[in-house]
Amino acid sequence: MIMLDDFDNRMCGKWKSEIVKIGRWCTQIFINIEHENNDVKIYFNFDWAIFNNSAFYVETSYNSLYFFHNDRKNRMEYILTVDENNCNKLMCNLTVKHRNFEEDIEFTRLTQEEENKYSHKIMFESKNSSRFELLREFSEYSYDESESNINFEYRFDERENMLDIIEKYNLDDIVRGKNDVETSITLMNWLCDRYKHGPYIANKRTPQALMDDADKNGCRSNCRGLSIILAHLIRAYNIKAFHLSCLPYEDPFDECHVIVSVYCESLSKWIMLDPSFNLYIKNKNGDFIGVDEFRSALINDEKLFESDNMSAAWIDSFDDYREYMAKNLIRLERGIVERYGCDEDGGYFVLIPEKYMKNEAKYFSEGWQKYFITSKKAFWQI
C-alpha cells in the first residue's frame, strides 16, 4: 500500500522508454502506472504496449517511484521521477544487475496513436492457412544493394579461452584428421551424447557457464544454450559458425528455435546443424544443405533426408520437424560479432521477407526495426 501524499499523480498513465541496449538485447519498455484507492499498480511489457505483466514490488519516496520485476536472479529495478520541465517525460534510473547494467533513461507519455500502433499483435490465423502456406506467402527476399555494406566479424578467440574443455574431453583427438564438415558433425555428436534439450540456460553465455548450468540441471540446456556451445566448439577449430535464431511470423510469440549455421570451405557453402536433435539434413542428391536451402525445400515440398542418429527431443519425426521449422523460418536473426562468450552482444540483424518488411514490420518498435534487413545476399555473406 502506498500513501497518497507520497505519490506524484503526474506519473499516472502509459509511457514508453527510449531504445535501451542491455547486452545483446535492444528494446523499448512500455509501462502503465495506475493509482486507485491509495494503491499504485504498475504493468509493463517489452517492445509492445500490451500491459500484461505486473511489477513485483512498488514503493514511493520524495516524489520518486521505485519498482522491480522478475525474480532476484533476473531482477530489473526502476526509479522514476517526473521531469519538472516537462510533465510528459519521466526520468528513470534503470538497473539490471545480472547484466551489470545501470543507466539513466527517459520515458515519454504514450499518445493514443502510438498506443494503437504498439498494441497491434501480429497473429497467425491457423484457420486460414497452414504454416507451409504462410512460409510460401512470405518466401521472397529483396536484392537491396543499400544493405551490401553490412559486415559480420569472427574473432576466433574461442580456442584460447576453451583449452580447459578441449583438453578435459580430448576434443583434439576426436577431430584429428577430419575436414570441416566431419569436424563440425563430430563435435555435434559429442555434445549431443553429453547434453540433451531442456528448458535451462545460464545468464552468462560462455561455454563453461552453459555446460556448468546444464550439469546442474540433469545435463540439459535449451536450444539456445546448446547452439551457443556448439558454435563455440566449431569456431575453436577455426571454422566459421554462428547460432541462428529462427523466429515465427507472429509477434509477440510463445516459442522460437535456435540452431547453428556452419560455413564449410570444403563444400563452399553453409550447412545447418541442430544440436537439439543431433540433426543435419541432406537433399535428394545426398548433399548437405544449409538453412536457406532447407527453407526453399520446405517451400517447394522437396524430398529431404535427416541424419541417421536424429534424436527425438520434443518432436518424434522428421515430418513433424519440417512442419515445426516451417513455422520458425519466417524471420532469421544472427549476431554481428562472433567471439568467445558472446550472444549477439555486439548487435544483430534480422532477415525478413520483403512482404513482411512492407506490412508487418511497421508494427514493431523502433528498437526492432533498425535491425531489419531484406537482403538474403547480405545476411548470408561469408
The CATH number that applies at residue 75 is 2.40.128.20
Residues 91 and 145 in one domain: no
Least confidently predicted of 85-94, 119-128, 203-212, 287-296: 119-128
Tell me the average pLDDT across 182-192.
98
Give the pLDDT score at 184: 98
pLDDT band at 148 (very low <50, low <70, confident <90, very high): confident
More confident residue, 352 or 51: 352
Residues 106 and 186 in one domain: no
Q: Is residue 125 part of a domain?
A: no
Residues 209 and 317 in one domain: yes
Residues 258 and 330 in one domain: yes
Give the pLDDT score at 261: 98
Residues 87 and 148 in one domain: no
Give the pLDDT score at 273: 98
Number of domains comprising the chain: 2
User: Where are the alpha helices (H) located in 223-374, listed in sequence order?
Assistant: 223-235, 291-299, 318-327, 354-358, 366-369
Tell me the average pLDDT across 258-271.
98
Residue type, 153: E
Q: Is residue 78 part of a domain?
A: yes
Q: Is the predicted pLDDT of residue 334 greater than 90, yes or no?
A: yes
DSSP letter string, 42-61: EEEEESS----EE-SEEEEE
Tell me the average pLDDT of the chain: 91
Q: Is the predicted pLDDT of residue 4 greater than 70, yes or no?
A: no
Q: Is residue 123 part of a domain?
A: no
Q: Is residue 29 part of a domain?
A: yes
Q: Is residue 126 part of a domain?
A: no
More confident residue, 336 or 25: 336
C-alpha distances in Å from residue 369, one per residue of 28, 144, 365, 366:
11, 16, 6, 5
Q: What is the value of pTM for the model shown?
A: 0.80
Residue where a domain stops, chosen among 118, 144, 173? 118
Least confidently predicted of 90-104, 116-130, 227-241, 277-291: 116-130
Give the pLDDT score at 183: 98
Q: Is residue 313 part of a domain?
A: yes
C-alpha distances in Å from residue 226, one per residue of 14, 129, 145, 305:
39, 32, 34, 22
Buried b / exposed e across 103-115, counting CB within 10 Å, b at 16+? eeeebebbeeebb
Give the pLDDT score at 24: 65
Residue where a domain stops, chosen among 72, 88, 118? 118
Least confidently predicted of 60-69, 258-267, 345-354: 60-69
Residues 353 and 267 in one domain: yes
Structural domain boundaries, residue 345: 131-379
Q: Is residue 167 part of a domain?
A: yes
Give the pLDDT score at 1: 42
More confident residue, 370 or 200: 200
Residue where a domain stops, chosen among 67, 89, 118? 118
Give the pLDDT score at 120: 73
Tell me the average pLDDT across 33-37.
88
Q: Measured between alpha carbons, how far is 38 from 45 in angstroms, rounded to an integer?
A: 24
Give the pLDDT score at 303: 97
